[in-house]
């Protein structure tokens, strides 16, 4: 396997990982996660993760954008892969920076593409997929803080047009906090502020 | 140097570049470009590129987001590196997908952080930096289509609050067109539609 050392490549101004064997410079750039809050009659599509990290916890259909995709195409692909849901995208709900792990997340508001009863099922990376009313969301078993940020953004925009996208919340402007027990209580559950961790 | 072959790594579902010498999997994900439309008294800060691609053409201060940065921090760093400008960020003007080259661009609206006369100068990657009134923008010498998309978004939002971010324009929803001569005419110059290329 590759054995990397840290040094500044010629013509660069930052230390990068360079393979000691072959000289390959592994530019480690932030990755883009695309996802969506897919709603039908006020209920939100969520997936219980079948894989680590946070196996068994609930998330939104989301994942890494691939080369050659637009943001919208990536979000639609993830909804199909993780929830077997064909979706129609409305617009951007939130744009989040998770600096701790080098992620940028772009989360869309979406609906099921077809009329009639919503069609969905667990994909290979999901143990379960369900539609939850707001009060039924398993707040204590949310996979990642940004899932809650996206749900909050959806709630704020629920009935109206989409405006300025939500950014990171005021208590985590750089996206550096891990999920903490108090963060899992849900914003509407008890009104408590998240504590930093 | 690394010698890459294309194959599907174990546990993946897509072909990736794998180094034939050391086995390193080079996941090639889309990269995030962050930038800003920095305005002072209705004039916009633009940089003439000192490097390829598009050396000698005009662009906005923008560049690749680095690991550990938020989007806002990256946009502020680029404004400092390319235009020696300390900026204060207002909000997101546009979120663009450039599928042809695997880029996602997040462009902010910003102003100069300090009161008083705007302070700026060419950084190492700029031949020149200037503030242009809308009618003075060198439309025929714009570096990239998305520079114009961002300028158009700024113009639309100029006097009001920021709303829903602009996405790709209707004639290039996937970001696949290169700059064409007719695209350089400027949206306000003659009202012509861009032609696909």
List the CATH number of the domain containing A72: 3.90.79.10
More confident residue, A65 or A19: A65
Gap between the Cα atoms of B80 and A8, Å rounded: 21
Confidence of residue A187 (pLDDT cuts 50, 70, 90): very low
Instruction: Give B-chain residues touching A21 at CB under 8 angstroms.
Output: 21-22
pLDDT digits (tens, 9 = 90+) for A102-156: 999 999 999 999 999 999 999 999 999 999 999 999 999 999 999 999 999 999 8
Do A24 and B28 make contact, defined as CB atoms within 8 angstroms? no
* CB-nearest partner of B163 from A1, A164, A173: A164
Phi, psi angles (nearest 5°) of residue A3: -120, 110
Residue in A1, A3, A104 closest to B32 by CB: A104
Distance between A195 CA and the closest CA of chain B, angstroms = 21
Q: Which pLDDT belongs to residue B120?
A: 98
Residue B103 has pLDDT above 50, yes or no: yes
Beta-bridged to residue B64, according to DSSP, are B33
Interface contacts (A, B; CB < 8 Å): 127
| ipTM of predicted assembly, 2 dp | 0.85
Non-local CB neighbours of A165 within 8 Å, separated by 6+ positions: A92, A93, A94, A95, A153, B92, B95, B164, B165
B4-7 vs A87-98, strand pairing mode: unpaired
B21: which chain A residues are within 8 Å (Cβ-Cβ)? 21-22
For the ranges A23-32, A39-48, B93-102, B143-152, which has the lowest average pLDDT?
A23-32
Whether B192 is in a domain gets the answer no
Check CB contact under 8 Å for B163 and A163: yes
In a domain, A88, yes or no: yes
Mean pLDDT of B113-138: 97
Query: Model confidence over A74-110: pLDDT tens digits?
Result: 999 999 999 999 999 999 999 999 999 999 999 999 9
Contacts of A182 (CB under 8 A, 6+ apart): A192, A194, A195
Sort residue A171 into left (φ over 0), alpha (ψ -120 to 50) or beta. alpha
**Between B2, B68, B173, which is nearest A99 by CB?**
B68
Distance from CA of B182 to the nearest CA of A (A): 24
Decide if B159 is inside a domain: yes
Which chain B residue has its CA at the smallest distance from A69's CA?
B99
Range of the domain at B118: 31-185
Average pLDDT over residues B10-30: 82
Chain B partners within 8 Å of A92 (Cβ): 95, 164-165, 167
How many residues appear in chain A?
197
pLDDT digits (tens, 9 = 90+) for A1-16: 567 888 888 777 788 8
CA distance A12 to chain B (A): 12
Distance CA A26, CA A10 (A): 14
Residue B51 has pLDDT above 80, yes or no: yes
**Do B164 and A71 lie within an 8 Å CB cutoff?**
no
Q: Per mean pLDDT, which range of A135-139, B94-98, B167-171 is the poorest?
A: B167-171
Residue A110: CA count within 13 A, CB half-sphere: 32
User: Nearest CA of chain A to the CA of B17: how many Å?
Assistant: 12
Structure tokens at B85: 């400008």
The pLDDT of residue A16 is: 83
SS3 (DSSP) at B97: strand
Give the per-residue pLDDT at B190.
32
Q: Output DSSP code: residue A183.
A: G
Q: How confident is the model at residue B131 (pLDDT cuts 50, 70, 90)?
A: very high
Residue with tokens 């590759």: A2
Closest CA to A61 of A90, A38, A40: A38
User: Is B22's pLDDT higher than 90?
Assistant: no
Residue A171 forms part of a structural domain = yes
Nearest-angstrom CA–CA distance, A196 and A183: 9
Burial status of residue B170 (CB atoms within 10 A of its CB: 0-12, 13-18, 19 or more):
exposed
Chain B residues touching A162 at Cβ < 8 A = 164
In a domain, A16, yes or no: no
Question: Is A110 part of a structural domain of the chain?
Answer: yes
Taking the CA of residue A90 and the nearest CA in chain B, the distance in Å comes to 11
Cβ contact (<8 Å) for A2 and B14?
no
Average pLDDT over residues B26-32: 88
| Beta strands, E only, chain B | 4-7, 16-19, 25-26, 31-40, 43-49, 58-59, 62-64, 87-98, 103-112, 126-132
Copy the structure tokens of residue A102.
Answer: 């080098």
In a domain, B147, yes or no: yes
For B84-174, where are the alpha helices, taking DSSP H only?
145-157
Is A52 within the bounds of a domain? yes
What domain count does chain B have?
A: 1
């Amino acid at each position: 396997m590759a054995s990397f050392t840290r040094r500044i490549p010629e013509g660069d101004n930052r230390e990068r990982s360079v393979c000691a064997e072959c000289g390959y410079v592994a530019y480690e750039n932030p990755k883009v996660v695309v996802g969506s809050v897919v709603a039908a009659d006020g209920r939100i599509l969520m997936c219980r993760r079948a894989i680590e990290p946070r196996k068994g916890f609930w998330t939104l259909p989301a994942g890494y954008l691939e080369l050659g995709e637009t943001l919208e195409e990536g979000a639609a692909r993830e909804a199909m892969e993780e929830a077997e849901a064909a979706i129609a995208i409305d617009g951007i709900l939130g744009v989040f920076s998770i600096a701790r792990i080098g992620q940028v997340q772009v989360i869309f508001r979406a609906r099921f593409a077809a009329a009639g009863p919503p069609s969905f099922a667990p994909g290979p990376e999901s143990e379960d997929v369900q539609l939850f009313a707001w009060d039924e969301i398993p707040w204590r078993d949310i996979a990642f803080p940004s899932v809650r940020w996206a749900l909050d953004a959806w709630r704020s925009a629920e009935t109206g047009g989409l405006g300025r996208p939500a950014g990171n919340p005021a208590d985590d402007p750089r996206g550096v906090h891990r999920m903490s027990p108090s963060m899992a209580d849900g914003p509407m559950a008890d009104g408590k502020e998240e504590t930093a961790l």
